[in-house]
Amino acid sequence: MKLRKVTAASAAVLVLALTATACGGDDNKDDSGSSSSGGSGKIKVGIKYDQPGLGLKKPDGSFAGFDVDVATYVAKQLGYEPDQIEFVETKSADRENALARGDVKFIAATYSINDERKKKVDFAGPYLLAHQDLLLKKDSKIAKAADLNGKNLCSVVGSTSAQNIHDTIAPKANLKEVSSYSECIAGLQSGAVDAVTTDDSILAGFASQEQYKDKFKLAGLKLSNENYGVGVKKDDKATVDKINKALEQMVSDGSWQKAVDANLGPADYKNEPAPKIGVIVPNAS
C-alpha cells in the first residue's frame, strides 16, 4: 500500500512537469514574436506597402520590391523561409515606435540613416546609397535644379526633399504638395506638374511600372545622399551583426545587384556600387 502511494505521487509529479512544459512559452522567441533560430517560428519584418519597386503590397496580397528582396534574403540568413515571414506595414512616422514596441524584428523601408534616428534605433548596413533627384517627362528640358524656377514642382506634404529645393536651390519653383507620390506621378503624366522630387530610388520604382514605361526619366542630379539602413531595436547588437553579415553575403553572391536590376533597372536607374557596411556617405556641407 505504501509503495502504491509513492508511485501515485511520483506519477502526479510527472504529469505536472509535463503539463508545465507543454504550457510554457518558447524560450527561443524574441520580442517580436519570432523564433530566434527559425524552424517552425515566424519573423515579423517592417516594409512599405505603397512604394513600387521598393516595397509594394500587390492586389493578390503578395509583396514585391527591392526592400522586400533585401528583407527576404536577410530573413533567410537568419533562418527563416519566405513563408515564415510576416510583412508588416511600417509608415515613416511610426518606424521607431514599431521597433521599440517589438512589433517587428527589423525594418527595410527606404530608412535613411541619420544621427537623430540613431538615438532611438540601431542600424545595420547601409545597403543602398540613394540620392534626392527629379523625375521628369522624357522630353523635358529641365537639366538642373535651378531650372525649376517658375516651374511646377510636386512632392508629398511635409517632404524635406521638396523644401530643400524650394528653400535654397530654386526658391521660385511653384511647389505643389499632395498626399502621395502616386498623385505627383499622375500630375507629371498629365502635364499639371513639371517635375517630382524625392529619393531617386523611389522615383525609379514608380517610373519602372509598366504603365509609365518610356514616359519618364531621372534627372540624375544627386541633390543629397540617402544611406538606407535596416532598422533594428536599440541595443540589439546581436541582430545588427547578423544582418550586416547577411548583407555582405547578398552583395558577394550577386543577389544584391540582381535585385536592384530587377526592381529599379527598367527606369534606367544608375545605382551606386553597393555601400560598405558601416560607411555613411555624408551630404556636402
Residue 96 CB contacts under 8 Å (≥ 6 apart), including other chains: 117, 120, 121, 231
What single string gives the DSSP state of each residue in 178-234?
Answer: ES-HHHHHHHHHHTS-SEEEEEHHHHHHHHTSGGGTTTEEE-----S-EEEEEEEET
Q: What is the per-residue pLDDT for 16?
A: 39
Provide the whole-model pTM.
0.82
- 42, with CB counted inside 10 A (0-12, 13-18, 19+), is middle
Measured distance CA(122)–CA(113) in Å, rounded:
9
- State how far the alpha carbon of 134 is from the alpha carbons of 30, 51, 222, in Å: 41, 16, 9
Q: What is the mean pLDDT of the chain?
A: 87
pLDDT digit string, tens, across residues 261-281: 999 988 889 899 999 999 999
Residue 66: CB atoms within 10 Å: 28
Percent of the chain with pLDDT over 70: 86
Closest CA to 77 of 245, 259, 257: 245
pLDDT digit string, tens, across residues 224-263: 999 999 999 999 999 999 999 999 999 999 999 999 999 9
DSSP type of residue 114: -
Is the pLDDT at 133 greater than 60? The verdict is yes
Q: What is the per-residue pLDDT for 99?
A: 98
Confidence of residue 38 (pLDDT cuts 50, 70, 90): low
Q: What is the per-residue pLDDT for 15?
A: 40
- State how far the alpha carbon of 256 is from the alpha carbons of 57, 109, 113, in Å: 21, 16, 19
Q: What is the per-residue pLDDT for 31?
A: 44
Q: Which residue has the cell 532611438?
A: 120
Is the pLDDT at 60 greater than 70? The verdict is yes
pLDDT digit string, tens, across residues 161-216: 888 888 888 999 999 999 889 999 999 999 999 999 999 999 999 999 989 988 99
Confidence of residue 83 (pLDDT cuts 50, 70, 90): very high
Q: What is the per-residue pLDDT for 33?
A: 46
Task: Take residue 228 and report the three cell numbers written for it.
Answer: 538606407
